[in-house]
Amino acid sequence: MKLVTFTQLGSPAAGASVGVLTGDGVVDAGHLLPGDGGVDPMIGLIGNFDQLRDGLADLAVSGPAIPRDQVRLRAPIRRPGKIVCCIGNYWENAAREPRPLNMFLKSPEAVIGPDDTVRLPATRDPWIFMHEAELAIVIKGPAKDVDENDWRRAVFGFTCFIDITARGEGRMTWRAGSWMGKSFDTFAPIGPCIVTADEIPDPQRLGVRLWNDGELRHDYSTSDMEHQVPELVAFASMIMTLNSGDVIACGTNHEGLGAVQNHERLLMEIDQIGSMAVTVSDPLERTWERGVYLGADSTNHAAVRRNRPQEAHLLRNDRP
């Protein structure tokens, strides 16, 4: 099931409802929620999903759909309680021992949704701003000390996530590795929907892609994850209680990173989930060389093609 947060065109974002995304459009499911759905109706839906499942399934089959061109999709979770992000977490074809799993917190205030705008801050301090396309896990909680073998009890579904980053030199995040370079407002596009976990039998067999103004940047398989989804859920829940609507971003393959700058359009997609696009706005209109970043951080496209896991070629859908 694909679940969305949406407004009908011309309606304010504050009037958002939740719905089921079908081939005919969006079926409004807001009336199924108890009360008014709370501040974030999707979190209310996740928390009550066991009781709502049959009703949502019926709506997906026979509910009246609002045509897709009459709705605006919003971030499926407008303000997660926590966004927990993996640092690195891809082998990137290096011959080495596995690195210790590590994570950081990204500000929930950074969340935006499909067709929104990433607004680069008017500070000249960060050296460059870059995109990181990632698979994200949406939690069904409360979940604490989850065993790896029981990870699915804590996972509601999956979505697309772009971790916009202000960087210094190489992989170093702005302010000497601080989470602050990840947490500017609008630096966490999420969407277009949440696909419930039952529809993704193996989250380690998904192709992840991102285009910048039509130029392919990221193109990798989640099979290359250094620490996989069950371990991520177990590790994060060992440290903190995970609640419904919390998000774990699984990290990215850094091969193919590039700058984002004024007026560019970023289009991201993940197999079995879908695609979303955002635009970039920079009040200072800074420019960087287009293409993958060829400094200390990333390789060029030839290296990405050479090193990409072979199965990623089998996973790739038709590209937009």
Structural contact between residues 275 and 268, judged by C-beta atoms closer than 8 angstroms:
yes
Distance CA 101, CA 235 (A): 8
3-state class (DSSP) for residue 212? strand
Per cent of the chain over pLDDT 90 is 72
The pTM is what? 0.89
Query: Which of 247-256, 263-272, 280-289, 294-303 has the least mean pLDDT?
Result: 294-303
Residue from 181, 182, 218, 159 nearest 4 by CA: 159
Q: Are 268 and 193 in contact (CB under 8 A)?
A: no
pLDDT at 301 over 70: no
Residue 67 has pLDDT above 80, yes or no: yes
Q: How far apart are CA 156 and CA 232, in angstroms?
A: 14
Q: Is the pLDDT of residue 147 over 70?
A: yes
36 band by pLDDT with thresholds 50, 70 and 90: low
Highest mean pLDDT among 215-219, 246-250, 315-319: 246-250
pLDDT: which is higher, 192 or 316: 192
Q: What are phi and psi for residue 165, nearest 5 degrees?
A: -135, 135
For range 213-240, the mean pLDDT? 96
Which residues on neighbouring strands pair with residue 72, listed in sequence order? 7
What's domain 83-315's architecture?
Alpha-Beta Complex (3.90)
Measured distance CA(98)–CA(226) in Å, rounded: 7
pLDDT of residue 241: 98
Position 160 scores a pLDDT of 98
d(CA 58, CA 125): 52
Q: Which of 8-22, 162-176, 272-286 has the highest mean pLDDT?
A: 272-286
Share the mean pLDDT of the chain: 88
Q: Tell me what pLDDT residue 170 has.
A: 57
CB-based contact 79:111 (threshold 8 Å): yes
The boundaries of every CATH 3.90.850.10 domain in the chain are 83-315
What pLDDT is recorded for position 319? Answer: 37
Mean per-residue pLDDT for 143-151?
97
Which are the contacts of 90, defined by CB distance < 8 A and separation ≥ 6? 220, 224, 225, 226, 251, 252, 253, 254
Q: Which of 221, 240, 270, 273 is nearest to 84 (CA)?
A: 240
- Give the span between the Cα atoms of 147 and 230, in whole angstroms: 8
Q: Are 110 and 187 in contact (CB under 8 A)?
A: yes
Question: Which has more pLDDT, 260 or 94?
Answer: 260
